[in-house]
Amino acid sequence: MLKNVKVPMPTKKVYFITRGKQNVCYVYYILRAYRNSKGQPTSEALLIGKKDEDSGKLIPNDNYFTIFDCKITVEYKGLIK
């Protein structure tokens, strides 16, 4: 996960779960929603990153780039050894 990268929060097919002592808000993308054999709503979801509380943007993980089929270009400052 790249901690300095922040992308706009997706507006559709996402839900949030807050966990841990620091109340970290994890963002999940819903891959499939259906009703199980008992008729209860069920969904398959994949973690796509964490919500940045200060800006409200998403700190994406590798799943985000796979689902939304995008690439990131990283710019380095200074010498690379």
Kindly list the domain boundaries of the chain, sorted by start residue: 14-67
User: Would the pLDDT of 3 be above 80?
Assistant: no
31-35, 47-51, 65-69: least confidently modelled range: 65-69
Q: Using DSSP, how many helices (H) and how many strands (E) does the chain show?
A: 1, 4
CB of 17 within 8 A of CB of 30?
no
Alpha carbons 45 and 42: distance in angstroms, whole number: 10
pLDDT score of 31: 93
Measured in degrees and rounded to the nearest 5, phi and psi for residue 67 equal -65, -45
User: Would the pLDDT of 34 be above 80?
Assistant: yes
As a whole-number percent, the residues of the chain with pLDDT over 70 amount to 85
The pLDDT of 44-53, averaged and rounded, is 93
User: Would the pLDDT of 23 be above 90?
Assistant: no
